[in-house]
Amino acid sequence: MATTTGVNSDLAKERNNSTFDVEELSNFIYRGPEKVKRRRYLHNLATKDPFFRKFKPWAFQTREEQYEICLQKHLYINKKCKELNLTEPVDKFFYTEAAAPHENSPIGLHTVMFIPTIEKQGTEEQKKRWLPLAESLKMIGTYAQTEMGHGTFIRGLETTATYDPRTREFILNSPTITSMKYWPGNLGKTTNHCLVMAQLYTQGKNCGIHMFMVQIRDLETHMPLAGIEVGDIGPKFGYGTNDNGFLRLSNVRIPRENMLMRYSKVLEDGTYVKPPNAKIAYGSMVLVRAAIVTDAARALAQACVISIRYSAVRRQTEVSPGGEEAQIIDYQTQQYRLFPLLATSYAMYFAGRFMYDFYLKTTAEIEGGNLDSMPQLHAISAGLKAFSSWMCSAGVETCRLCCGGHGYSHASGLPKIYIDVVPGCTYEGENNVMMLQVARFLMKMYGKLQNGEALPTFMQYMSTDLNKKSCMTEEVALNCLVMAYEHRAARMIRDAAASMEKLVQSGKSPVEAWNGSTVMLTWAAIAHCHAFVTKLFVETVVKSRMDSKVQSALTSLCKLYAVHGIVENLGGFIQDQFFDSKQVKILQKKLMQLLAEIRPNAVAFVDAFDYPDEVLQSCLGRYDGQVYQALYDYAKSSPMNEKEVLDSYYKYIKPAQNGKYQQYSKL
Ligand SMILES: CCCCC/C=C\C/C=C\C/C=C\C/C=C\C/C=C\CC/C=C/C(=O)SCCNC(=O)CCNC(=O)[C@H](O)C(C)(C)COP(=O)(O)OP(=O)(O)OC[C@H]1O[C@@H](n2cnc3c(N)ncnc32)[C@H](O)[C@@H]1OP(=O)(O)O
Ligand SMILES: Cc1cc2nc3c(=O)[nH]c(=O)nc-3n(C[C@H](O)[C@H](O)[C@H](O)COP(=O)(O)OP(=O)(O)OC[C@H]3O[C@@H](n4cnc5c(N)ncnc54)[C@H](O)[C@@H]3O)c2cc1C
């Protein structure tokens, strides 16, 4: 029976029954006790600060209030980060996730893309000129690339920047309605500057897309400058806190020095100097794609915390007539939906950790003048961004469904997480498009393999013998699981390449052959990402040093991730009889065993993510499990309940009850 104070007794029992020390697992997830301590310190600073608690809850705010309240919070966060000297991105990330959870910042693009783009693409002189102004918020900027007519195909952008050597200025124009910038975050009402991606014209030639610093609003009055039309694009699926905007430029002149010229240049006479690699200008997108992996993992982890704690507390249906109602977490179907997602959240966290390290290492090389790893960084970040945002968004929605009716209420906290994570499937490169970029890389690697050239380590699995059968036995060893994923990916890569080859042989051009094979190419890219993430998870649990009980529990979770992925995508694994039917049965049986094995640790696994209640903001995911009292309090706090009888009763219901409908004819 659940008590109404203290920790819910079912939840308390779950915590007593776990096989490992939760603190040890938190230490492993966040890379050591010192880092856990630091994260808690940062969370505490935010959650205990009365400033963040003075506002009404997000779900009860109007769109305008969402923007205004979130703006205040983020300006305060900015001030506090300076006061506290929080300079590391990871520190800012933890402080912010607790201060304004899943509330997309009205100055977010300024921090995440505007400043990093100046830092990475600006000359020393430009950095000296703009960074102090940007740091002090005198300049507030965004990354204005997408247009109404083009988001994916950025070479097709229509905004023009034409160099005038007489005045040494660029003239910016939005020549058509489709060329207006549309979607950039914070553009509508907040920013006074933009980094505008535009087609560069000089000496009568188009030199492709480049970045230009454009002031759009007066620094004193904040009014749009001459030649600028700018505004908010209106309500969206979510992101109400963010003024995604539109922008039209009409003959806007900016000095030559406002083109970002670290790599490409326009000299005073209009001579164009090429960058060492044209795609170096895409670097800010790569940064955010890399960050999205951790962001998506965090969303799914929080959704799992909410849904799994609630499933331990919620009881529904007597299992035998007259008996006790079961905890819903004991239903195998509930476990089958939730535990693989729990495993996925861990897999994605480790992928995010890897991505962060790899991004830092590779960009340091690029900045040192070695561009060799740029294609790998692009392929891995594009693939992991797409794979993680797809898996995590779908996973958050399943977590919501697993909470039944209460999952549909904002009281669950789940809709807020979902609308924050799901645009990650679209922004920074629509996921299908990103997977096709991965496929392009895979086809290049396949070509190298055919030519007997060396492959990067993470692609060496492609040379696997595709006639080999699975080594899977009753033991379901981790190495056999990894081999299965790599086998499937290698075969799908070969099949996609064969499809293109066949089309070429039938007389199609290479472009037609590509377009005729994009579904197979996408399958191959997804299979490659799935193999990459699985192998990373396995290596993390096998090779890392950690407490032995944690290792044993984490190994079960890792196995569940791998086995579930195979059972759910069986077609791809048995198409070439890699597994025989006996092995399929072994895997299905193992899946059920793993669900039972993970069951006693499910709550401990989510507790280890160590998200305070103030971050989860969920009546269902509370640490103490007192969900019913919380739901009741939430309902009572609804503004709809401020009056016992609403004015609308007297205005509309009462007259209707008396058969009076005159007020409608006045309309
Ligand atoms: C890692 C840090 C983690 C830290 C964690 C801690 C703190 C984080 C702090 C904060 C962040 C927190 C969370 C983040 C979460 C949310 C983010 C918030 C807001 C997001 C706001 C959204 C902004 C946007 O959406 S901006 C607009 C984005 N737009 C796009 O992405 C457009 C997509 N389209 C493209 O990228 C390109 O058009 C294309 C599809 C790649 C094609 O390009 P194109 O030039 O036409 O290509 P081609 O001529 O066909 O050539 C292809 C050729 O080029 C190579 N290529 C392409 N891109 C790259 C690249 N980037 N690098 C290297 N090479 C590239 C490609 O491989 C191919 O090569 P080949 O010819 O040799 O085969
Ligand atoms: C919340 C949010 C915030 C954003 N913030 C910013 C921002 O700050 N700055 C900014 O510049 N932009 C921003 N964007 C825009 C975003 O980057 C683009 O919407 C995104 O890149 C997708 O481009 P698109 O809208 O043109 O989609 P489209 O390319 O029109 O996609 C529509 C469909 O066509 C398919 N498709 C398109 N091209 C291909 C292809 N070559 N092969 C196969 N299929 C294809 C896609 O898969 C998709 O299914 C934001 C968007 C959102 C939703």
Nearest residue by C-alpha to atom 56 in ligand 1: 279
Euclidean distance between CA atoms 159 and 145, whole angstroms = 9
pLDDT band at 1 (very low <50, low <70, confident <90, very high): very low
Surface-to-core class of residue 204, CB atoms within 10 Å of its CB (0-12 exposed, 13-18 middle, 19+ buried): exposed
Q: Is 434 within a domain?
A: no
Between CA 279 and CA 334 the distance in angstroms is 46
Give CA–CA dist 211/144, Å, rounded: 9
Q: Rounded to an integer, what distance in angstroms lies between the CA atom of residue 184 and that of residue 141?
A: 10
- Closest ligand to residue 104's CA: 1
Atom of ligand 1 at shortest range from CA of 89 = 7
Pocket residue to mutate for ligand 2, from 430, 432, 517, 526, most atoms within 8 A of Cβ: 430
Active-site option among 158, 428, 486, 597: 428
Summary mean pLDDT of the chain: 96
| Ordered DSSP codes for 531-594 | HHHHHHHHHHHHHS---HHHHHHHHHHHHHHHHHHHHHTHHHHHTTSSS-HHHHHHHHHHHHHH
Residue among 406, 382, 426, 391 nearest 300 (CA): 391
Which atom of ligand 1 approaches the CA of 283 most closely? Answer: 61
Amino acid in the structure at residue 362: T
Radius of gyration, CA atoms only, the chain: 27
The rounded distance, in Å, linking the Cα atoms of 329 and 325 is 12
Kindly give the residue spans of alpha helices, DSSP state H, lying in 330-461: 332-367, 374-401, 404-407, 414-421, 431-450
191 CA to centre of ligand 1 in angstroms: 23
With b meaning 16 or more CB within 10 Å and e meaning fewer, what string describes 345-369? bbbbbbbbbbbbebbeebbeebeee
Residue with tokens 């924050």: 420
pTM above 0.80, yes or no: yes
Q: Is the residue at 229 inside a domain? A: yes
pLDDT 10s digits, 7-60: 999 999 999 999 999 999 999 999 999 999 999 999 999 999 999 999 999 999
Ligand nearest to the CA of 361: 1
Ligand 1: distance of its center to the CA of 385 in Å? 10
**Interval between CA 645 and ligand 1 midpoint (Å):** 53
* ipTM for this prediction: 0.97
Task: Indicate which residue's Cα is closest to atom 26 of ligand 2.
Answer: 151
428 assigned to active site: yes
- pLDDT at 417 > cutoff 90: yes
pLDDT, residue 3, reads 46
Nearest CA to ligand 1 atom 51: 279
Residue having the nearest C-alpha atom to atom 54 of ligand 1: 279
CB 277 within 8 A of CB 371: yes
In 3D, which of 507, 21, 427 has the Cα closest to residue 184?
427
Per-residue pLDDT of 311-348, as tens digits, reads 999 999 998 888 899 999 999 999 999 999 999 999 99
The yes-or-no verdict on residue 481 having pLDDT over 80 is yes
CA–centroid distance, residue 461 to ligand 1 (Å): 26
Task: Measure the CA–CA gap between 77 and 111, rounded to whole angstroms.
Answer: 12
Give the residue whose CA is nearest to atom 67 of ligand 1: 375
Q: What is the mean pLDDT of residues 520-533?
A: 98
The pocket around ligand 1, CB under 6 angstroms, is made up of: 89-90, 93, 108, 112, 143, 145-146, 152-155, 185, 279, 282, 285-286, 288, 290-292, 294-295, 355-356, 359, 374-375, 378, 427-429, 433, 437, 440, 444
Q: Residue written as tokens 């096709």? A: 436
- pLDDT(91) > 70: yes
- What domain count does the chain have? 1
Give 539-586 pLDDT, tens digit per residue.
Answer: 999 999 999 999 999 999 999 999 999 999 999 999 999 999 999 999
Nearest-CA residue for ligand 1 atom 5 is 291
C-alpha separations of 660 from 24, 515, 655, 657 in Å:
68, 63, 5, 7
- Please report the pLDDT score of residue 662 as a whole number: 73
Q: How far is the CA of 414 from the centre of ligand 2 (A)?
A: 25
When pLDDT is cut at 50, 70 and 90, the band that residue 2 belongs to is: very low
Ligand 2 atom closest to Cα of 109? 8
Pocket test for ligand 2, best of 102, 114, 152 (most atoms within 8 A of CB): 152
Q: What is the CATH number of the domain that holds 146?
A: 2.40.110.10
Residue 33 lies in a domain: no
Residues in contact with ligand 2 by the CB-under-6-Å rule are 109, 142-146, 150-152, 183-185, 239, 244, 423, 426-427, 429-430, 432-433, 436
Q: φ, ψ for residue 21 (rounded to 5)? A: -85, 120
Mean pLDDT value across residues 203-223 = 97
Ligand nearest the Cα atom of residue 141: 2
| Whether residue 661 has pLDDT greater than 90 | no
Lowest mean pLDDT among 155-164, 320-329, 590-599: 320-329
pLDDT over 80 at 297, yes or no: yes
Q: Which atom of ligand 1 is nearest to the CA of 145?
A: 27
Task: Give the separation between CA 576 and CA 570, rounded to whole angstroms.
Answer: 11
Q: Which ligand is nearest to the CA of 443?
A: 1
Atom 1 (ligand 2): residue with closest C-alpha?
423
In a domain, 665, yes or no: no
Q: In this predicted structure, what is the pLDDT of residue 667? A: 55
pLDDT average, residue stretch 386-401 = 98
| 426 annotated to bind ligand | no
User: What percent of the chain clears pLDDT 70, i.e. is strictly above it?
Assistant: 99
Please state, in angstroms and as integers, the Cα–Cα distance from residue 627 to each residue in 4, 320, 337, 601, 662, following that order.
Answer: 9, 25, 21, 21, 46
pLDDT digits (tens, 9 = 90+) for 336-379: 999 999 999 999 999 999 999 999 999 999 989 999 999 999 99
To which H or E segment does residue 265 belong? strand 265-266
Domain residues for 178? Answer: 140-275
Ligand 1 centroid to Cα of residue 290, in Å, is 10
Q: Tokens 């070429």 map to which residue?
A: 504
Residues 6+ apart with CB under 8 A from 496: 439, 442, 443, 517, 520, 521, 523, 524
Q: Is 395 exposed, middle or buried (0-12, 13-18, 19+ CB in 10 A)?
A: buried
The helix or strand, by DSSP H or E, that contains position 81, with its residue range, turns out to be helix 63-83
Q: Whose CA is nearest to atom 37 of ligand 2?
A: 152
Q: Which residues contact 383 (CB under 8 A, 6 or more apart)?
A: 434, 435, 438, 525, 528, 529, 532
Evaluate whether residue 62 is within a structural domain. no
* pLDDT at residue 4 in the model: 52
Which ligand is in closest contact with the Cα of 426?
A: 2
Handedness of CA 640, 644, 649, 653 (dihedral sign): positive
- Which amino acid residue places its CA nearest to atom 2 of ligand 2? 427
Ligand 1 center to residue 368 CA distance, Å?
21
Residue 238 falls inside a structural domain: yes
pLDDT at 127: 98
Helix (H, G, I), strand (E, B), or coil: what is residue 142? strand
Nearest of 157, 146, 219 to residue 187 by alpha carbon:
146
Strand-strand pairing, 193-202 and 205-215: antiparallel
Atom of ligand 2 at shortest distance to CA of 104?
1
Q: 645: which residues sit within 8 A by CB, 6+ positions away?
A: none
**Domain assignment of residue 340, yes or no:** no
**From the CA of 146, how far away is ligand 2's center (Å)?**
8
Does the annotation list 452 as a binding residue?
A: no
The answer to the question of residue 482 being in a domain is no
pLDDT score for 273? 97
Distance 285 CA to ligand 1 centre (A): 4
